Structure 1
Amino acid sequence: MREFSWLSYWSLLLSIFPIPFLFAMMYALIRIHPYLGFFLISLSIILSLVFGFIAIFKDTEKNALAVMAIIISFGSGVFFAFLLMMAQMGTTG
Structure 2
Amino acid sequence: MNRFSWLSYGSLLLSIFSVPFFYALVYELIRIDPYFGFFLILLSIILSLIFGFIAIAKGTEKNSMATLAIIISFGSGAYFVFGL
**TM-score interval, normalised by the smaller of the two chains:** over 0.9
Query: What residue ranges of structure 2 are gaps of 5+ in the alignment?
Result: none
| CA–CA separation in structure 2 for the residues paired with 1:4 and 1:21 | 26
Q: Deviation at 1:28?
A: 1.1
Query: What residue ranges of structure 1 are gaps of 5+ in the alignment?
Result: 85-93
Aligned structure 1 segments of 4 or more residues deviating by more than 4 angstroms? none
Question: Kindly, what percent of the aligned residue pairs are identical?
Answer: 71
* Structure with max Cα Rg: 1
Instruction: Give the number of aligned pairs.
Output: 84
TM-score, reference length from structure 2: 0.98
Q: Deviation at 1:26?
A: 1.1
Residue pairs, 1:14-93, within 5 angstroms: 14-84=14-84
Q: Deviation at 1:41?
A: 0.1
Aligned alpha-carbon RMSD (Å): 0.4
